[in-house]
Amino acid sequence: MNLIQKLKNSERLSHEDGLALYDLDLFTLGEFANKVRQIRHGKKVFFNINRHINPTNICADVCKFCAFSAHRKNPNPYRMTHDEILKIADEAVKNGAKEIHIVSAHNKEGGWQWYLEIFRLIKQKYPSLHVKALTAAEIDFISRSFDMSYEEVIEKMCEYGVDSMPGGGAEIFAENIREKICKGKVSSQNWLKIHSLWHSRGKMSNATMLFGHIESRADRIDHMLRLRAVQDETGGFNAFIPLVYQRENNYLQTSDFLGSAEILKTIAISRLMLDNVPHIKAYWATSTINLAMIAQEFGADDLDGTIQKESIQSAAGAKSANGMALKDFIDIIKTSGYTPVERDSLYNEIKIY
Ligand code: V47
């Protein structure tokens, strides 16, 4: 059946369809993605009031795209004490944060307890603060470093108060590209397995895709389809987050910046391919807030949050180091003709502005 007919009938799309979607003109593609978005979410743009914390940048892995970890191009290694982390949590709560998003480098120094104790301390002090922490890459690292099974690490996460898992570490699943950009890190198969195990505990997570470096369009579609297959089984992914590759201060040379049209196409295609994932997040830190707002007309329905402080993408050139003020966030959503909806980390609506 012809692709347009399949889109009109809301039929499930194949790998071949996904690739063919890139050949549609941007506005035709956008219209189809927007229709799906409107049916699911109307004019709502979701966001949360959150704070990112990155407790250490001293990393055993060497991902070529990463400018955050301490290395020759970005020295200043640090590992925070639990007291320092708690102070950041205090400040975040004072500023209204309802979620703490914690992502660390892969660091053996403090044992698995250093990672896990952080969550227990935060939850003891702020039981209703949502702790989104430990990417599948970190879980894989902890498992290998401290001779624990994935199930054991996940058991500890539940015990120590992790509420949901962030979507980091997915990068791109195509093994030949993964080998070039993040050799030695969690395999694609294990990334997916860890999320499935987490979901089997009745817990939710997100899924990212790092794009705009050396991957092909076919690799992006492959990535989406591997996620769709897991989601069919578990239903545990809340949001898909396409992360636009930032090119400064790292070791991954790319020829060209992707450009807005290709970014919007990829977001729109993810909305159409991932028919079983409720939310598509245009993460403003990697796309700029302006493009993230335009992306709302191309399938996205979420912006992530105000963040307060951002270290991973800003190290690589993004203008996100200090987050965004809540007022600016709300203003830009409203003036774009959308309804700002503050959500919690599991997409329950908290406040409509
Ligand atoms: O996995 C690293 C990415 C991710 C670069 O789950 C880069 O709600 C762009 O996963 N250019 C960590 N991206 C951040 C992350 C995330 C962010 C926001 C929300 C959620 C969520 C998750 O950052 C890593 C990696 O793919 N990253 N370097 C770079 N140069």
pLDDT tens profile 227-275: 999 999 999 999 999 999 999 889 998 878 889 999 999 999 999 999 9
**Segment 191-207 mean pLDDT:** 98
Does 1 score more than 70 pLDDT?
no
Report the pLDDT value the prediction gives residue 18, as an integer from 0 to 100.
98
Ligand 1: residue of 312, 314, 319, 320 to mutate (most ligand atoms within 8 A of CB) is 312
- Atom of ligand 1 at shortest range from CA of 165: 6
What mean pLDDT is reported for the chain? 95
Q: What is the mean pLDDT of residues 287-302?
A: 95
Ligand 1 centroid – CA 242 distance (Å): 9
pLDDT tier at 15, thresholds 50, 70, 90? very high
pLDDT at 130: 98
More confident site: 349 or 286: 349
Distance 57 CA to ligand 1 centre (A): 14
Task: Give the length of the chain.
Answer: 353
- One-letter amino acid at 345 equals S
Is the pLDDT at 170 greater than 70, yes or no?
yes
Provide CB contacts within 8 A for 77, sequence distance 6+. 57, 58, 70
Q: What mean pLDDT is predicted for residues 290-318?
A: 92
Please state which of the ranges 159-163, 261-265, 326-330, 342-346 shows the lowest mean pLDDT: 326-330
204 CA → ligand 1 middle, Å:
18
Rounded Cα–Cα distance for residues 322 and 244 (Å): 18
Nearest CA to ligand 1 atom 10: 168
**Do the Cβ atoms of 282 and 303 come closer than 8 Å?**
yes
In this model, does residue 161 exceed pLDDT 90? yes
- Check pocket membership of 241 for ligand 1, CB cut-off 6 A: yes
Instruction: For residues 106-122, give the mean pLDDT.
Output: 94
CATH dotted code for 12-352? 3.20.20.70
CA distances from 150 to 137, 154, 232, 315 (A): 11, 6, 22, 30
pLDDT for position 43: 97
Tokens for 27? 């506005």
Band the pLDDT of 83: cuts 50, 70, 90: very high
- Is 208 near ligand 1, meaning CB less than 6 Å away? yes
pLDDT at 146: 97
- Cα–Cα distance measured from residue 108 to residue 25, given in angstroms and rounded to the nearest whole number: 49
Residue % of the chain over a pLDDT of 90: 88
Q: Please tell me the distance between residue 109's alpha carbon and the centre of ligand 1 in angstroms.
A: 23
Determine whether the shortest distance from the Cβ of 305 to ligand 1 is under 6 A.
no
Q: What is the pLDDT of residues 130-157, one digit of tens each?
A: 999 999 999 999 999 999 999 999 999 9
